[in-house]
Amino acid sequence: MAERVAEVRTDAALQVLDLGLTPFAETLARQEELVRLRLLGAVPDTLILVEHPPVVTLGRAKRRANLMLDPEELRRRGVEFFEITRGGDVTYHAPGQLVGYPIFDLRQHGRDVLLFCRGMETALIAALSDFGISASAIPGKAGVWLGDRKVASLGISVRRWVTLHGFALNVSTDLSGFEIIRPCGEDPGVMTSMAAILGGPVFMPEVRRCVARRFAETFQIGEAAQLPGR
Amino acid sequence: MATRLDMPQLGLTMEKGTILQWLRAEGETVQKGQPVVLIQTEKVEYEVEAPAAGTLLKVIAKEGVELPVGGLMGILGQPGEDVSALLARAPSVAPSADSAPDRGAERGRRAPSPPAETISASGVVPAREPGERVKISPVAKKLAQEHDLDIAALTGTGPEGRIVREDVERAIATKSQEPRAESRVDREAFADSIPLAGIRKVIFDRMGQSWREAARVTLFADADMSELVTLRQGKLADWERRFGIKPSYSDLIHLAVARALRDEPRINCRLDGQAVRIRKEVNLAFAVDLGEGLVAAVIRDADKQSLGDLARAARDLADRARSGRLGPDEMADGTFTVTNLGTVGVEYFTPIINPPQAGILGVGKIMEKPVVLHGGIHVRSMMTLSLVFDHRLIDGAPAARFLAKVKELLEQPAWMG
């Protein structure tokens, strides 16, 4: 799989990798491999787009108190659990949520990790505007918000200026799933989704397209043809 | 050589970070480039790599501790190495503040103590019992008095705990690094205190570096803007209809400067290691005032853009800079800077070059002045341009040609219409 990725040498182009519905662990391995290749300069900046089966992940800031159920109980309910190395606290992913993992080399984007986060917010806000949703960023509260409701969360990890992990945009996520955590220490009720905002179904492939295009635009890199993920 | 591991600055606006996890324990060795400690700022986790191979000699900031950018996290070096000089330069003693006072007081009574250990207590806890006579060398005493240091609070490392010159010098170094706002006097005397962190630190370092290193020369020229003023007045309605925006004088100046840089590419250069690199692209940076702090927003390929494009780009970049939403690439890789203080009434000034660029153009106020032309006195709209360039990289003649070109393009503006 990795070899196939390595063949694509489109410098200064954004490679978009659509993994469809893929379990968290498998995607994490894919990210690790891409980070390794990105560090070698063997692949261009890459954006993985994926949905995960239900999973709770705990960042290294590890506030277990924000986990309302213990890992055993989670597994009984069919929710996977992982402790991982990324910024931020506890997060919940499930189908209907578009998860994006940008594997970007920040040496080519101004070497500024905070500006990169602001850039991700800008791209997501622009993508939401494509659906007539006017969301915003709140200084000091990472993520994308509609008033006091959060529609997208973010948290990244950086190794030698290459990023991994990323954002989670609730498209049509079943929001009751968030009740098993306190997302980033917030009340679960703070989360909202595009479907909840628009009051109707949202076409996920269109969201994927808009997010990819807005990422390429925001970070000023041409978008390469989307690669099938597998 | 021992090396400090400081809290890195991972972005222009980063002021502090938190130690999440030490990936190496004290005494463990690490190769250059291997991760040593994991830190977090906002929602970003970052693996800090070893800047050199060595042994993690000391962990100064424990897991969970928050440090300002530049704060000492730990020290790398060779086992047995004296790291007291590095410790003395620690800008903050906060990391070990929880346990330092007790240990410090204990050590003070057991003088002399090794310098590496005394630092966390210096200036925090008196080093001896009340009433105990202070042993100090005459040189050290004089130095302490000159710097207004309380000698009773110093820890001596000489024989029998005698305070020697090095102790005082260390205390002076520590004192000068301490955040000044903490003293009662400062709280009373100043309305505000802006820490040297985040964007202020970036400006501090870069302006200082530029001033220390560049061989600055300033060339002045008065441009007669009368025709451009007339042209702009005549065209403004048309421009606004075509571009959807009224181009300002700054926009017209950007247009002229971008064109002059294309015609005189020698100015469009930067220092790159051991070579002066002349850039193909003209990426025009312009200074945006943020109230507190400033940034240089960059218009890429400015020489290939129309007046309308330049005007829209400048407006958009300035608006987003002021709301803190400038993209990471929009401040990077400028090749030349224009800074206009004419809009706030300044007649002329000599700006500081923004390294690694080699030149910057200061733009003054457009003012009606009496000018002698063809033997008569006329009232003309004049504007002073000041070109500051780094004479290490650019000779005087090409710099003069460039400035003359800018002046000519502004004085005969028919090409802009």
Of A87, A106, A115, nearest to B327 by CB-CB distance is: A115
Does the pLDDT value for residue A9 go beyond 80?
Answer: no
Residue A206 lies in a domain: yes
Instruction: Tell me whether 0.85 is exceeded by the ipTM.
Output: no
Does the pLDDT value for residue B175 go beyond 70?
Answer: no
Substitution target from A113, A116, A167 for chain B, most B beta carbons within 10 A: A113
Closest C-alpha among A123, A192, A118 to residue A152: A192
Does the pLDDT value for residue B123 go beyond 90?
Answer: no
Q: Which residue bears the tokens 């503006």? A: B413
Substitution target from A114, A154, A167 for chain B, most B beta carbons within 10 A: A114
Specify the 3-state DSSP secondary structure of B131.
coil
Enzyme catalytic residues of A: 184
Sorted by where each begins, the domain ranges of chain B are 1-93, 99-194, 200-416
H helices of chain A, where? 2-7, 24-40, 71-76, 113-129, 194-198, 204-218
CATH number of B99-194: 4.10.320.10
Q: Which residues of A touch B11 (CB under 8 A)?
A: 112-116
Q: Which residues of B touch A220 (CB under 8 A)?
A: 327, 329
**Residue B192, CB-side half-sphere exposure with 13 Å CA sphere:** 4
Q: Is A40 on the interface with B (CB under 8 A)?
A: no
Specify the 3-state DSSP secondary structure of B249.
helix
Specify the 3-state DSSP secondary structure of A114.
helix
Does the pLDDT value for residue A105 go beyond 90?
Answer: yes
Segment A142-146 shows an average pLDDT of 92
**Burial letters A31-63, b for 16+ CB under 10 A, else e:** bebbbebbeeeebbbbbbbbbbebbbbbbbbee
The one catalytic residue among B150, B186, B272, B395: B395
Q: Which residues of B touch A158 (CB under 8 A)?
A: 10, 44-47
Instruction: Say yes or no for a CB contact (<8 Å) between A112 and B329.
Output: no
Tell me the pLDDT of chain B averaged across its residues: 82
Which range of residues forms the domain containing residue A193?
Answer: 2-219
Of B11, B13, B43, nearest to A87 by CB-CB distance is: B43
pLDDT tens track for B182-215: 445 545 677 777 777 777 878 888 899 999 999 9
Residue A227 lies in a domain: no
Of A61, A112, A157, nearest to B12 by CB-CB distance is: A112
Q: Which residues of A touch B13 (CB under 8 A)?
A: 114-115
- CATH class of domain segment(s) B1-93: mainly beta
Q: Which residues of A touch B33 (CB under 8 A)?
A: 160
Closest C-alpha among A28, A31, A86, A111 to residue B43: A86
Paired sense of beta strands A141-146 and A136-138, if any: antiparallel
CATH of residue A154? 3.30.930.10
Domain count, chain A: 1
The distance from CA B79 to its chain's CA centroid, rounded to whole angstroms, is 35
pLDDT tens track for B91-100: 443 333 333 3
Q: Tell which wins on pLDDT, B133 or B227.
A: B227
Instruction: Say yes or no for a CB contact (<8 Å) between B44 and A114.
Output: yes
Residue A229 lies in a domain: no
Measured CA angle at B17 (ends A70, B103), to 5 deg: 95
CA of B11: which chain A residue's CA is closest?
A112
Q: Helices B226-243 and B396-411 meet at what angle, rounded to 10?
A: 70
Compute the distance between CA of residue A217 and CA of residue B189 in angstroms, rounded to an integer.
49
**Amino acid type, A67:** L
CA of B34: which chain A residue's CA is closest?
A160
Segment B293-314 shows an average pLDDT of 93
pLDDT at site B232: 95
Percent of chain B with pLDDT over 90: 46
Residue A40 lies in a domain: yes
pLDDT tens track for B105-116: 333 333 333 333
Q: How confident is the model at residue B156 (pLDDT cuts 50, 70, 90)?
A: confident
- CATH class of domain segment(s) B200-416: alpha beta
Instruction: Say yes or no for a CB contact (<8 Å) between A113 and B324.
Output: no
Q: Chain A: nearest CA to B20, how far in angstroms?
A: 7
pLDDT at site A222: 67
Q: Which residues of A touch B20 (CB under 8 A)?
A: 60-61
Of B14, B44, B328, nearest to A156 by CB-CB distance is: B44
What residues contact B360, with CB distance under 8 A and at least 6 apart?
B336, B337, B338, B339, B351, B352, B353, B354, B387, B388, B389
Of A111, A158, A160, nearest to B44 by CB-CB distance is: A158
Substitution target from B21, B41, B44, B298 for chain A, most A beta carbons within 10 A: B44
pLDDT tens track for B220-257: 999 999 999 999 999 999 999 999 999 999 999 999 99
pLDDT tens track for B34-52: 889 988 887 788 889 898 8
Q: Do domains B99-194 and B200-416 have the same CATH topology?
A: no
